[in-house]
Amino acid sequence: MTSLRPSPCFAPPMSSEQRKAFPFSEFEPKWQDVWEARKAFRTPNPGDADFDASKPKYFVLDMFPYPSGAGLHVGHPEGYTATDIIGRFKKMSGFNVLHPMGWDAFGLPAEQYAIKTGQHPRATTEKNIEGFRGQLKRLGFAYDWDREVNTTDPGYFKWTQWIFLKLYNSYVGEDGKAHPIAELEGKGLSREEIDSRRLAYVSSAPVNWCPELGTVLANEEVVDGKSEVGGFPVERRPMRQWMLRITAYAQRLIDELDGLDWPESIKLHQRNWIGRSEGAEVKFKVAGSEETITVFTTRPDTLFGATYMVLAPEHRLVDVLVSEEQITAVEEYREKAGRKSDMERTELAKDKSGVFTGAYAINPVNGEQIPIWIADYVLMGYGTGAIMAVPAHDERDFEFAQKFELPVKQVVQPPEGKDWQGFTDHGIAVNSGFLDGLSTPEAKKKIAAWLEEKGLGKGTVNFKLRDWLFSRQRYWGEPFPIVWEDGNHRSIPASELPLLPPTLEDFKPTGTPEPPLSKATDWVRYSATATRELNTMPQWAGSCWYYLRYCDAQNSERFVGEAAEKYWMGGGKPGGVDLYVGGTEHAVLHLLYARFWHKVLFDLGYVTTPEPFQRLVNQGLILGEDGQKMSKSRGNVVNPDDVVKEYGADSLRLYEMFMGPLEQVKPWSMKGVEGVYRFLARVWRLVMEVSEEGVWSVSAALQDVPANKQVTKALHEAIKKCGEDIEKLSFNTAISQMMICTKAFIAEEVMPASAVVTFLKVLSPFAPHIADDLNARIASKFPDLAVQGLLSDATWPKYDPAALIEDEVEIVFQVNGKLRDKARVPIQSTKEELEKLALASARVREFMEGKTPKKIIVVPGKLVNIVV
């Protein structure tokens, strides 16, 4: 490369140093080193010598990154800069600020990358973390690095395993809260009974198996029948897996969203995912049999319209019910349905299929016999796995009835002008005996009471949410602290934690559901008669509680110290973390799982709040310059390192905040980066001037003089607006105001040094390097005017309301709401004076056309509107 450069003799090239409008590449690393050496952002904990208990706390959290080999992308610094500005601002405003960072480092991509490159995942993970940490430090984030956590560190996952044991050794009682399983042991329950109530339990139900990834996946990780990671086909197959009983918390996970300051869209997303629906269970007798089938319906009011019944193909009663003639057809159908992957089931969703079992059920409400079918549009995992079909008032049942020519019977009268066939909304009950004439809600109530009275059913609630499939057949995850003996599982003692994964040369998936840990034959053997659980935990495990570890990251005695947890997570609100910023992609995964774990820990008395995150803000995606999602294949990816190299970390930070509202999706613009870069250069030149030789020194214009009225006003406006906007996370408008303030300074011949220092304090949360550097330079010339030490330790300036008030304001005169004239008037002008002034205006008179005013509205300081 070097040889290709033009010779300096003919065309002296601008070196990159000379081209820079201010020497950020010198002072940015310098201040990063100073902050690190002084531990400028170390946050003392309760109990530490330098802890000040009189200060309020502020816990500001980022979604910690997965340290991939690709390094940071520009989306990371977006949220991270936002929280950094808030954290720095709160610190300057007198808060104890907890603003930590860590690594979510277990998981599939690390393992796949390791397999591909023939390295151990621990080695690649270490390397990636190193890269990420360096990149974050080069952006000047004010993290307390003493609190850094790494989910793959045995000192960390020891406690992930410990929490798993808490789940394993707990059950949900009558009160809906988690209790130690020991309470059940005391009641003399059998082993099976106890195991069936644990929050972490073993199940052999069909699960999402992804052959390509060689592991099972949670429902949340399967999108359109494909794995969320990689997009590989996923099939259903029964396997013995660990499950977490998140369904026991379904209602609380819905209810307790109410007290959180989260975007409505995310709350709604979680509510929809949990999917509560109210209805009733109805028992149907099977004709000529002792069996009864219980169905779940949200429309018990349509019971009279049930013309057939459908069981899920996997329903346990199918074998019992099926008639001699139908056995072959039913067997065939069940076999076919079982083979269908989730993807096929989704694709064929609209094409109904099913088989008659040959059996009939008796409608309890009228004694009618209705045929029992099996069909895969009824899912075993929801409700009771059986439905009563009311084709007249349910779309799916209607479709099915059409295809198989089953009767359709109207039982709801729709409003005038609507066809009753396929009418699914509320109406008036008809052809329904004692329900006739009732509105849908009334009919629901009446039939529920009737069923309950006759012992034929009861009102009940169902959720779409399923229990969380918690085991994976992978190497790079937390091993379960569980051993098996004689077909039974039991936990290992907490004293044996952390349970390290075995050192394996070959950790590739086996290609079968047998986990790779099975290859560690020594490790597997726990005792002469017991073997270890071979599955590992999913990536979500570590991220379910990392925010708690930050509170007390070095604690080796407890997952988090009691005093630290109480202080940082406390504060009288449901959620402990004051502000959590991250992308929307975790709306139902991480954010639901973490809430669940937190509630269990809360019930068991290990944490003091029912919710982990009080205020949640989603940053919007940053698109490429072409307005498309950034991707390697499109070639529109912006690398933050390049931006830092060219324009500096402060410019990158400032630009990402200036682009637009944090929550919004917005495209990148390199020209926009140059804009804020020019702004920072202007700020630099408020203080610095350059000699002919290109040497920077403190400007002669900078003097110890008081600021004049205009500058003072601009400065105090900036203090006010920036303070308010930071609280609102409206960083773009805060930056605009600083730009306006800078213009006011530039207009002056003489720079008032102490006013400039105040401005630097306001700028410092946004662009901390240049602010600290300029302050230090001013301090060298005017020690009494500048901040001694770091701006982050300074106090956020107070604005003076008096400085904001102008002597004169511009008043707008309107006629019939249209702007016709303006006037500058003294600020203290009265309503009467303004009215008089407006009526005296020649232009106003012209547009009044000699008519008399009907009404005059006067808004002091703003306008006069004359209505004629």
Partner RNA sequence: GCCGCUGUGGUGAAAUGGUAAACACAGCAGACUUAAAAUCUGCUGGGAGGUAACUCCCUUGCCGGUUCGAGUCCGGCCAGCGGCACCA
Q: 328 to 357, contacts with RNA by CB under 7 A?
A: 345-346, 348-352
Question: Contacting RNA (CB under 7 A), which of 180, 407, 433, 817?
Answer: 817
Helix or strand (DSSP H, E) at 80: helix 75-92
Q: Which of the stretches 103-111, 243-251, 492-500, 659-667 binds RNA when contact is defined by CB under 7 A? A: 659-667
Q: Does 508 bind RNA (CB under 7 A)?
A: no
Bridge partners (DSSP) of residue 865 are 814, 857
Neighbour tally for 609: CB within 10 Å: 22
Distance CA 321, CA 374 (A): 11
Among 387, 412, 790, 834, binds RNA (CB under 7 A): 387
Residue 504 or 739 with smaller CB distance to RNA? 739
- Angstrom distances, CA of residue 466 to CA of 167, 205, 470: 17, 12, 12
Q: How far is the CB of 740 from RNA (least distance, A)?
A: 5
376 forms part of the interface with RNA (CB under 7 A): yes
Positive or negative: CA dihedral 324, 325, 327, 330: negative
Bridge partners of residue 458, in order along the sequence = 281
Beta carbon nearer to RNA, 289 or 733:
733
Residue 630 interacting with RNA (CB under 7 A): no
Residue 634 binds to RNA (criterion: CB under 7 A) = no
Applying CB under 7 A, among 385, 612, 723, 765 the residue interacting with RNA is 385
Which two structure tokens, joined as six digits, stand for 847?
Answer: 């547009």
Residue pair 291/317 in contact (Cβ under 8 Å)? The answer is yes
Site for RNA in 173-212 (CB under 7 A): none
Which residue, 827 or 859, is less far from RNA as judged by CB? 859
Task: List the interface residues with RNA, window 577-596 (CB under 7 A).
Answer: 584
> Measured from the CB atom, is 343 or 698 closer to RNA?
343
Q: How far is the CB of 227 from RNA (least distance, A)?
A: 13
Chain centroid to Cα 372, Å, comes to 44
Q: Does 636 bind RNA (CB under 7 A)?
A: no
Strands 579-582 and 616-618: parallel
Minimum CB separation from RNA for residue 27, in Å?
18
| Beta carbon of residue 187, minimum distance to RNA (angstroms, whole number) | 33
- Classify residue 43 by its DSSP letter: -
222-223 vs 215-217, strand pairing mode: unpaired
CB of 351 to RNA, least distance (A): 7
- Whole-number minimum distance, CB 534 to RNA, in Å? 29
Find, among 270, 303, 489, the residue nearest to 394 by Cα: 303
Which residues in 85-144 contact RNA (CB under 7 A)? none
CA angle 633, 637, 638 (to 5 degrees): 165
- Matching residue, tokens 């008796």: 362
- Shortest Cβ 169–RNA spacing (Å): 30
CB-wise, 350 or 632, nearer to RNA?
350
Listed residue (337, 333, 377) closest to 357, CA to CA: 333
Coil, strand, or helix at residue 786? Answer: coil
Contact pattern for RNA over residues 248 through 287, marking x by CB under 7 A: ----------------xx--xx--x--x-x-x--------
For 208-231, give the secondary structure using H, E and C: EEECCCCEEECHHHEECCEECCCC
Tokens 């999917």 correspond to: 275
Residue 94 φ/ψ region, left for φ over 0, alpha for ψ in the -120 to 50 degree band, beta for the rest: left
Q: Are strands 308-311 and 482-485 parallel, antiparallel or unpaired?
A: unpaired
Site of tokens 């309760």: 46
Pick between residue 174 and residue 351 the one whose CB is nearest to RNA: 351
The reply on whether position 624 binds RNA by CB under 7 A is no
Residue 249 or 523 having the CB closest to RNA: 249
Asked if 812 touches RNA (CB under 7 A), the answer is yes
Binding span for RNA by CB under 7 A among 22-30, 144-152, 381-389, 404-412: 381-389
Give the tokens for residue 165: 């044991």
Residues within window 24-53 making contact with RNA, judged by CB under 7 A:
none
Residue 634 C-alpha from the chain's centroid: 27
Binds RNA (CB under 7 A): choice among 209, 377, 470, 796: 377
| 772 touches RNA (CB under 7 A) | no
Q: Quick one: 36 or 727, whose CB is closer to RNA?
A: 727
Q: Which of 454, 822, 831, 836 binds RNA (CB under 7 A)?
A: 822
Give the interface size with RNA as a residue count (CB under 7 A): 82
The reply to whether 805 sits near RNA by the rule CB under 7 A is no
Cα gap 14→4, rounded to integer Å: 15
Q: Helices 24-37 & 768-781, crossing angle to 10 degrees? A: 90
Q: Looking at beta carbons only, is 739 or 750 nearer to RNA?
A: 739
Instruction: Provide the pairing of β-strand 412-413 with 428-429.
Output: antiparallel
List the interface residues with RNA, window 702-741 (CB under 7 A).
730, 732-733, 735-736, 739-740
Residues 663-692 that bind RNA (CB under 7 A): 664-667, 669, 671-672, 674-676, 678-679, 681-682
Among the listed residues 97, 218, 378, 435, the single contact to RNA using CB under 7 A: 378
Please, which of residues 216-245 interact with RNA by CB under 7 A?
223-224
CB 251 within 8 Å of CB 268: no
The residues facing 25 across adjacent strands are: none
Under a CB-based contact definition with an 8 Å cutoff, are residues 427 and 412 in contact? yes
3-state helix, strand, coil in the chain (%, to 5): 40, 20, 40
Stretch that binds RNA, among 26-34, 205-213, 610-618, 854-862 (CB under 7 A): 854-862
DSSP state of 12: P
Lookup: tokens for 307: 């013309």
x-marked contacts with RNA along 404-443 as a string, rule CB under 7 A: ----------------------------------------
Least distance from RNA to the Cβ atom of residue 182, Å: 34
Nearer to RNA, 196 or 628 (CB): 628
- The yes or no reply on residue 573 touching RNA (CB under 7 A) is no
Q: Does 659 interact with RNA (rule: CB under 7 A)?
A: yes
Q: How far is the CB of 111 from RNA (least distance, A)?
A: 24
Shortest approach of RNA to residue 90 CB, angstroms?
22
Residues 51-90: x where in contact with RNA by CB under 7 A, - otherwise, as a string: ----------------------------------------
Torsion of CA 764, 770, 771, 777, to 10 degrees: 170
Which residues, listed in sequence order, are joined to residue 97 by a DSSP beta bridge? 58
Min dist. Cβ of residue 91 to RNA (A)? 25
Q: How many residues does the chain have?
A: 868
Could you tell me the two tokens for 306? 């049930």
What angle in degrees, to the nearest 10, is found between the helix axes of 768-781 and 753-763?
Answer: 160
What angle, 0 to 180 degrees and rounded to 10, lies between the N-to-C axes of helices 640-647 and 649-658?
110
Position among 394, 467, 565, 646 found at the interface with RNA (CB under 7 A): 394
Out of 403, 454, 645, 843, the only residue in the binding site for RNA (CB under 7 A) is 843
Residue 494 found at the interface with RNA (CB under 7 A):
no
